[in-house]
Amino acid sequence: MQAAFEKLTYKDASLQLLLFVDQRPSAQKQIEQICSCLESLKEDFPFELEVVDVGQQPYWAEHFKIVATPTLIKIYPEPKHTLAGSNLVAQLQTWLPRWQTSAADYWGTIKSPAESPETTTEKSLKINSLAYATEIIQLSDEVFRLKQEKEELLNQLQFKDRAIAILAHDLRNPLTAASLAIGTLELTQNLSDEKKLQISPTLINQLIQQARNQLRVIDKLITDILQAAIGSSTNLHIQPQKLDIATLVQDVINQIQERILGKSLKLETDIPQDLPYVYVDEERVRQVMMNLIDNAIKYTPAGGKITISIFHRTTEKVQVIVSDNGNGIPEGNLERIFEDHFRLQRDQEQEGYGLGLSLCRRIVQAHYGKIWVESILGEGSSFNFTLPVYRF
């Protein structure tokens, strides 16, 4: 049967045929019958047969839209004709005389005096064009791949330039706030003992907390940029451990309390006392909560409301929900907002990288969880994600 998978060419071939096969044992008998039927023609009607294994040359199967094997295609002379099905041999016996007649008419035409030497040569070359066509398909695939790589590199370069500009701007505010807090603390150290006693420990703690919060903001900015540089195709490395999710969420709320008060927002929480522990990377989940609450603050109008809820939905998962009553998200963008660098049209002029939600999705998926958003335009959005319950 090995010979059936070789190219059969006969001098001055009048027909060019492609036989698509696979390696299934059940198909071998039918392939042998097809080859035997064609072999009987070689004396009276020369032809060229190319046997294509779809497993070894899938691009040809895709090019000719092959849906079943074996399939026999007459590709030259035109028009192309396809035979397939369980009765392929019977079809071949029916169509071979017609192919012979049409091929004889064709070759009689190109050998007429009216045919120019150039045209005759061009048509004759088509009979041996399969190898060249294969190279063309492979080259086309390579060109397509290179174009994709070029587009990706251009996007990365554009993002780099934009990220550097925004990062320089965004770092200035938290750096200034942290510097002011630390500077104020330094001034208190230079005061006399009598005046130092007039400064309450609460104020000192507030200044320390302010500096710490701003440093966290700076760390988040740098982390997001570095994570984007790694690329979305790289797996996140997480170090899960037993964690009280309620405590982490409350810690995040405390960190951004000033921003909530600054916009006169109402914050409501629904966090049960009997929640199970989760098995997560604490810092990664902190990033998710910071991003989601940060977005809620950003897109909730002054005087609006933010709600943070945690539910023990199943024995295996805990669900966290961050809701706001902002403008909401268009339905067509509910999935796209989790893509790298995607930003809603309304946000194009705002500061930011378009990285936060993409990073959130990667972190949640690294924990074998799910993240999604539910939103109604004009009424607000609810971001949901799940985390695994600690079972050790």
Percent of residues, the chain, with pLDDT higher than 90: 21
pLDDT band (50, 70, 90) for residue 130 = low
pLDDT band (50, 70, 90) for residue 226 = low
- pLDDT at residue 337 greater than cutoff 80: yes
CB atoms within 10 A of CB 289: 22
Relative to beta strand 278-280, strand 241-243 is antiparallel
- Name every residue whose Cβ is closer than 8 Å to that of residue 308 and which is 6 or more positions away in sequence: 249, 253, 267, 268, 269, 270, 271, 293, 320, 321, 322, 323
More confident residue, 326 or 206: 326
Which CATH architecture group holds 241-388?
Answer: 2-Layer Sandwich (3.30)
Contact at 8 Å (CB) between 69 and 23? no
**What is the reported pLDDT for 42?**
63
- pLDDT at residue 246 greater than cutoff 90: yes
The model's pTM is: 0.48
pLDDT band (50, 70, 90) for residue 248 = very high
- pLDDT at residue 315 greater than cutoff 70: yes
Percent of residues, the chain, with pLDDT higher than 70: 73
Q: How many Å apart are CA 230 and CA 358, to the nearest integer?
A: 13
More confident residue, 389 or 176: 389
**What is the reported pLDDT for 307?**
96
Domain ranges of the chain: 2-126, 140-230, 241-388
- pLDDT at residue 93 greater than cutoff 60: yes
More confident residue, 345 or 205: 205
The three-point CA angle 173-174-175 to 5° equals 90
pLDDT band (50, 70, 90) for residue 122 = very low
Mean pLDDT is lowest, of 19-23, 217-221, 378-382, for 217-221
Tens-digit pLDDT profile for residues 281-314: 998 899 899 889 988 998 899 999 999 999 997 8
The per-residue pLDDT of the chain, averaged, comes to 77
Contact at 8 Å (CB) between 348 and 334? no
Span 32-57, mean pLDDT? 76
**What is the reported pLDDT for 179?**
84
User: Which CATH superfamily includes the segment(s) 2-126?
Assistant: Glutaredoxin (3.40.30.10)
**What is the reported pLDDT for 159?**
64
User: For the purposes of burial, counting CB atoms within 10 Å of the CB of 356, is it exposed (0-12), middle (13-18) or buried (19 or more)?
Assistant: buried
- pLDDT at residue 352 greater than cutoff 50: no
pLDDT band (50, 70, 90) for residue 387 = very high
CATH class for the region spanning 140-230: mainly alpha
- pLDDT at residue 45 greater than cutoff 80: no
Q: Which of 352, 324, 373 is nearest to 166 (CA)?
A: 352
**What is the reported pLDDT for 68?**
82
- pLDDT at residue 319 greater than cutoff 70: yes
- pLDDT at residue 329 greater than cutoff 80: yes
The token pair at 55 is 């497993």
HEC secondary structure over the chain: CHHHHCCEECCCCCEEEEEEECCCHHHHHHHHHHHHHHHCCCCCCCEEEEEEECCCCHHHHHHCCCCCCCEEEEEECCCCEEEECCCHHHHHHHHHHHHHHHHHHHHHHHCCCCCCHHHHHHHHHHHHCHHHHHHHHHHHHHHHHHHHHHHHHHHHHHHHHHHHHHHHHHHHHHHHHHHHHHHHHHHHHCCCHHHHHHCCHHHHHHHHHHHHHHHHHHHHHHHHHHHHHHCCCCCCCCCCEEECHHHHHHHHHHHCHHHHHHCCCEEEEECCCCCCCEEECHHHHHHHHHHHHHHHHHHCCCCCEEEEEEECCCCCEEEEEEEECCCCCCHHHCCHHHCCCCCCHHHCCCCCCCCHHHHHHHHHHHCCCCEEEEEECCCEEEEEEEEEECCC
Tens-digit pLDDT profile for residues 249-289: 999 998 888 889 889 999 999 999 999 999 999 988 998 99
